[in-house]
Structure 1
Amino acid sequence: MTYLKELRATLQKTATNFIDCCNEHTVDAILSLRTDTCKHTHLPSSLGIGTYNKAEYGAFYGRFADMMKDCSCRIADDKEMVVDVESRKVVMHVKNKGSTPLGEYENEYMWILTMTEDGKMIQEIVEFCDSAKAIELMKKQQAQTSA
């Protein structure tokens, strides 16, 4: 019983650390808790973003990192992490808000993190975001680079 309690606390800590890494807005930080084989899947699939391995996600995230420096991720106010110790999964409802060079940005996500056996590293991330907000940001970014 103590082992499961400790693993639960470790899973929660890793998930919290992941949010902290997101708030550093660097590729190194965003990749730091991922295993070498970590897969990151973006949903809904209608966004056309798909699944990235660790290196691919670093390149993808690198396109947005600098402009997100004044944004902050946090667990939604009225929500808690859902922790499934047996499957080593943590589900979080996360909000991101702040200003970017393209204007104010606000989005919300459901993240499903699957951790290693010891709960200290992330093996898989499934990210479901507000697709309208994501598309809006991508269009603004494309317009800026086309100008």
Structure 2
Amino acid sequence: MADFKELRATLQRTATTFIDCCNKHTVDAILSLRADNCKHTHLPSSLDIGTYNNAEYGAFYGRFANMMKDCTCWIVDDKEMVVDVESRKVVMHAKNKGNTPLGEYENEYMWILTMTGDGKMIEEIVEFCDSAKAIELMKKHQAK
């Protein structure tokens, strides 16, 4: 039973650290918890962003990282975080808010993180965001 509890705590800690990495706003930080084979899928599919490997996601994120420096991401309620030890998955609700060179930005996310066997690295990220907010930001970014 101790192994189960330890793995659960590790999964939860990795998910929390993932949010901390998001708040560093660097490609190195955002990729630091990802296993070499990590895949990152953006949803809803109507955003037409798709699935990226680490190198692809680093390039994608790099286009927005500097713009998001004054934004903060946080877990809405860690009591609502779902930790499935057997599948090594964590589901969490997060928000992001702050100022960008393009104006105030705010978004809301559901993340599903699938971890490695030891729970310390992320093998898969499924990110579901408020698509209206994401589209608005992308349009502003393209227009600048």
Q: TM-score range by the shorter chain?
A: over 0.9
1:16 matched residue in structure 2: 16
2:4 matched residue in structure 1: 4
Q: Residues 8 and 128 of structure 1: is their aligned pair in 2 closer, same or farther, counting only changes over 3 Å?
A: same
TM-score (norm 2): 0.98
2:53 matched residue in structure 1: 53
Secondary structure, aligned partner of 2:65: helix
Q: Is the 8 A contact 1:74 1:94 kept in 2?
A: yes
Q: Is the 8 A contact 1:79 1:93 kept in 2?
A: no
Q: Distance in 2 between matches of 1:71 and 1:88?
A: 29
Shift in Å, 1:80: 2.3
Q: Residues 79 and 107 of structure 1: is their aligned pair in 2 closer, same or farther, counting only changes over 3 Å?
A: farther
Q: Distance in 1 between matches of 2:80 and 2:70?
A: 24
Q: Is the 8 A contact 1:94 1:110 kept in 2?
A: yes
Please tell me the residue identity of whatever aligns with 1:84. D
Shift in Å, 1:81: 1.1
2:135 matched residue in structure 1: 135
Q: Distance in 1 between matches of 2:112 and 2:64?
A: 21
Across the aligned residues of Structure 1 and Structure 2, the Cα RMSD in angstroms comes to: 0.9
Q: Distance in 2 between matches of 1:57 and 1:11?
A: 22
Deviation track 1:36-91 (CA, whole Å, cap 9, x = no partner) reads: 11000000000000000011000000000000000000011485211000000000
Secondary structure, aligned partner of 1:25: coil
Q: Residues 107 and 87 of structure 1: is their aligned pair in 2 closer, same or farther, counting only changes over 3 Å?
A: same
2:34 matched residue in structure 1: 34
Q: Is the 8 A contact 2:77 2:93 kept in 1?
A: no
Q: Residues 130 and 40 of structure 1: is their aligned pair in 2 closer, same or farther, counting only changes over 3 Å?
A: same
Deviates more, 1:79-88 or 1:26-35: 79-88
Unpaired runs of at least 5, structure 1: none
TM-score (norm 1): 0.96
Deviation track 1:12-33 (CA, whole Å, cap 9, x = no partner) reads: 0000000000000000000000
Unpaired runs of at least 5, structure 2: none
Q: Residues 137 and 79 of structure 1: is their aligned pair in 2 closer, same or farther, counting only changes over 3 Å?
A: farther
2:75 matched residue in structure 1: 75
Q: Is the 8 A contact 1:34 1:121 kept in 2?
A: yes
